[in-house]
Structure 1
């Protein structure tokens, strides 16, 4: 009877193997990298090979098939779960207590699923000096394994991975950020069962889980490779958002800006609604300005709003605030500009362009030493390209049709002064319009205010919040379903920027009387 039971079990495994393609086998190998010796995984040709290794390590047997069910669930082969007597819902229920695939491995696999072939080509180009010469072509999963073997990627060291994401596609950062947030909030991760000591000892320089954090700090080879890689990034002149992001040291934990002083800082809001000539009135912008004032006041900043200012007046006001001695007692500085715009510039009321870089340059450490080493945030609600045809309730913050753009294309990263501690949040990517509802306000500003109110009380840092803003705005569409928008942050922040949690409830809750 026992022999029959074992035979049936092996027949089940063979049936599962027959339904898995080579990509599925590669995914299973990757997800097992923390559980099985890597040298043995290198020789795997089929799913049956993996099953045999799991059985040899006592992770899989006739009486306990949950690990295999989890692996099939992770690679989204839900129909195969029935062959093991499971359903998708049943696996989900058991994951918290019985899951063995680490959060780290889950994060890497999810990330690989979102990296396109084009992104992979860019990543390999960026890393070409750090990859073995024998690798002519790499899959995303193979690339991640190589980075682990090189000591450039580990459970407690994902900074290089963050840098790569920022170079290639900032949207990918949300997967990494979610992993970091979950890892901090859940000391006992989903894989609460112990991992065998040999599981990671065969992956190049990566040690077992108990040794990883120590080795990542003490290994001189790791330090050298990480330093060289970061230097390599800085030498590549790519016009991608975040190209000025500064990851200080791969082995040094990222700290936060000091934000616990008696005075948070000043916030300026420039709200240009009416213009003197061909530019349209920016209906709905006053709602944005009011919402920004409420939210940043709630966050502890002293807010000053200027309405309908010429480009010269804006520049003069920037000089005045640049020389304000009171900055030395503040934690940060914020400036929001709501206007029409062109590539790399915004319009004053007089319809003259003012460079965003010029505006921000007034607050460099040299020109405004009181704000040296303090975060300086700029949020720009303005088009960065020509107007497109607008539907009934949506207007574009750009010139009238037929009026040519007068600026050369300038990416957000080029607008930031080439020194630390700046963040530029653009409502849209270069060359495109941004949208504003004539009653409800701009998509970007409303999303920004909403996410600040939601996520600051949760202790999220500003870059995680802006990623959520990207997600929010990216999902929006005009009522005809034809107009889309994607914001774009660029920054030279050196640390995490986390606003202290206000004592009062968010303005939206105060307004509703909660």
Structure 2
């Protein structure tokens, strides 16, 4: 893929030169925007800063928020996380609207009415966070005193405000987005009128619409360039998908000519529980070297293994890496984790395979082809009761089709393809709570850089790192991965493929530490 690397470097150089030439014309705009943010900061007191810190807990890590002593400190984190910009200052407008600082909206060129009209489609602060804030405003000193008395055993010995009291209940996992029973019970005993706010929240949450990231149109490839996938390929592939499988149709222009509406909006569904003692186990099978001559070394796979280790540890998983795994070794690993005692206390399970493969199967280090379905079948509710009703995620970095001629820095994870393939759904167990993320669609190779790792795993790593803090669900994250990977390469294209039987929305809690 040497030609692509050169072209990327050339493109970056050109973009850098363009930025240098145009940056001066934008400096004043950026400076003015920061001046306006400083004006907002000057008009906010200590109370408003605490309110903003509370409302931003789902957007900025608690560790960073604890260090913030002013509104401008919070703004700096929002700017760094690309949640706030001169081009899109709506999040700050929303925050000011929530804390009833509507007179400051003028600095962002918004009015109160405009914010109200945009909230249904641009809301960034969660309904749950809004609920807690609204309730804090209605909990007076007498109500607060009664609530603290009822919760005395779990309360720290310190002066508390209504906001810090609710924040403490959340931190102790007594309340959460899908569990407000403790709050309901407290209100029923000392403030029945506040129960109406909780009822309103539950109704709004039930009807809230969750949509995938906006799918931006991409330009057609330059004339003379070929695409690996044809419309007939895609149509045939879609026909093999399970009803509830996901296929993102962004990034490759010809995909759109044969179908539309592959990703309908999803109604708000229940969310998988993520508040047990541990997040769960993550297994990484990393095959670099093979004992059969027909399978080449997978240079660059160590980079993938390192990135997966970092991101899943960051998400709270106990990560277990196994290198160059034979068929016998794999059987031992599968049996070990099928009966792992920690599943009972875990929220989730992740299994990653980095190896060579062909459609529906992956190679062990001793050259044995093992069906993906066989791997996944060890973790059904019948075989692994500890994971019943819990999400089980499988990510496979391996080719799913025929090898193609590639340039020196890109290799293919494929070997001896078969001319025909079984239906895709045969790879996923016929029961709930599974997700299978394949690096590529059936019949095609996946690409791996010999030093920087594979396109798919690197994109998965980056999007988990960037989108989990924004409370994106796993399917939205994988849609973004599809879009990113599909845009890579020149005439050589790759399209990842998730398929799933998830029954609920899967959202990883935002880690307290930065990655």
Normalised to the residue count of structure 1, the TM-score between the two structures is 0.51
Q: CA RMSD in A?
A: 3.1
Task: Find out whether 1:435 has 2:451 as its counterpart.
Answer: no
Partner in structure 2 of residue 484 of structure 1: 493
Q: 1:311 Cα deviation (Å)?
A: 2.3
- Return the match for 1:426 from 435, 438, 446: 438
Return the alpha-carbon distance in structure 1 between the equivalents of residues 341 and 115 of structure 2.
Answer: 56
Contact 2:207 2:268 (8 Å CA) reproduced: no
Return the alpha-carbon distance in structure 2 between the equivalents of residues 158 and 418 of structure 1.
Answer: 27
- Return the match for 1:302 from 310, 318, 325: 318
- Return the match for 1:257 from 258, 267, 272: 272
Partner in structure 2 of residue 52 of structure 1: none
Q: 1:253 Cα deviation (Å)?
A: 4.2
Structure 1 residues 461 and 100: CA distance shift in structure 2, 3 A: closer
- Following superposition of structure 1 onto structure 2, how do residues 84-163 of structure 1 map, counting pairs within 5 Å? none
Contact 1:342 1:407 (8 Å CA) reproduced: no
Structure 1 residues 460 and 251: CA distance shift in structure 2, 3 A: closer
Contact 1:339 1:381 (8 Å CA) reproduced: yes
Return the alpha-carbon distance in structure 2 between the equivalents of residues 157 and 259 of structure 1.
Answer: 20
Structure 1 residues 416 and 407: CA distance shift in structure 2, 3 A: farther
Return the alpha-carbon distance in structure 2 between the equivalents of residues 251 and 430 of structure 1.
Answer: 25
For residues 455-498 of structure 1, the C-alpha deviation after alignment (integer angstroms, 9 at most, x for no partner) is: 11111111111011111111111xxx221111010111111111
For residues 359-404 of structure 1, the C-alpha deviation after alignment (integer angstroms, 9 at most, x for no partner) is: 00000000000100000000000000010001121111112xxxx3
Structure 1 portions without partners, runs of 5+: 1-92, 107-154, 163-172, 178-236, 507-514
3-state secondary structure, aligned to 2:379: coil
Return the alpha-carbon distance in structure 2 between the equivalents of residues 244 and 483 of structure 1.
Answer: 25
Return the alpha-carbon distance in structure 1 between the equivalents of residues 266 and 369 of structure 2.
Answer: 44
Partner in structure 2 of residue 372 of structure 1: 388
Return the alpha-carbon distance in structure 2 between the equivalents of residues 99 and 291 of structure 1.
Answer: 39
Contact 1:242 1:413 (8 Å CA) reproduced: no
Return the alpha-carbon distance in structure 2 between the equivalents of residues 426 and 251 of structure 1.
Answer: 22
Contact 1:384 1:433 (8 Å CA) reproduced: yes
Task: Find out whether 1:497 has 2:506 as its counterpart.
Answer: yes
Q: 1:261 Cα deviation (Å)?
A: 1.4
Structure 2 portions without partners, runs of 5+: 1-108, 123-205, 217-237, 247-264
Q: 1:98 Cα deviation (Å)?
A: 6.5
For residues 302-332 of structure 1, the C-alpha deviation after alignment (integer angstroms, 9 at most, x for no partner) is: 0000000112321231122101222111111
3-state secondary structure, aligned to 2:343: helix
Aligned length: 285
- Following superposition of structure 1 onto structure 2, how do residues 212-223 of structure 1 map, counting pairs within 5 Å? none
Normalised to the residue count of structure 2, the TM-score between the two structures is 0.51
Return the alpha-carbon distance in structure 2 between the equivalents of residues 440 and 242 of structure 1.
Answer: 35
Q: 1:414 Cα deviation (Å)?
A: 2.6
Return the alpha-carbon distance in structure 2 between the equivalents of residues 382 and 242 of structure 1.
Answer: 24
Return the alpha-carbon distance in structure 2 between the equivalents of residues 470 and 319 of structure 1.
Answer: 32
Q: 1:243 Cα deviation (Å)?
A: 3.2
Task: Find out whether 1:354 has 2:370 as its counterpart.
Answer: yes
Q: 1:241 Cα deviation (Å)?
A: 5.8
- Following superposition of structure 1 onto structure 2, how do residues 14-413 of structure 1 map, counting pairs within 5 Å? 173-175=212-214, 238-240=239-241, 243=244, 253-276=268-291, 277-399=293-415, 404-406=416-418, 408-413=420-425
Contact 1:343 1:430 (8 Å CA) reproduced: yes
Task: Find out whether 1:463 has 2:475 as its counterpart.
Answer: yes
Return the alpha-carbon distance in structure 2 between the equivalents of residues 324 and 283 of structure 1.
Answer: 31
Structure 1 residues 497 and 354: CA distance shift in structure 2, 3 A: same
For residues 53-104 of structure 1, the C-alpha deviation after alignment (integer angstroms, 9 at most, x for no partner) is: xxxxxxxxxxxxxxxxxxxxxxxxxxxxxxxxxxxxxxxx999976999899
Return the alpha-carbon distance in structure 1 between the equivalents of residues 492 and 112 of structure 2.
Answer: 41
Structure 1 residues 290 and 176: CA distance shift in structure 2, 3 A: closer
Structure 1 residues 176 and 393: CA distance shift in structure 2, 3 A: closer
Structure 1 residues 417 and 96: CA distance shift in structure 2, 3 A: farther
Q: 1:413 Cα deviation (Å)?
A: 3.1
Contact 2:208 2:267 (8 Å CA) reproduced: no
3-state secondary structure, aligned to 1:362: helix
Return the alpha-carbon distance in structure 2 between the equivalents of residues 251 and 444 of structure 1.
Answer: 25
Q: 1:176 Cα deviation (Å)?
A: 8.9
Return the alpha-carbon distance in structure 2 between the equivalents of residues 434 and 505 of structure 1.
Answer: 30
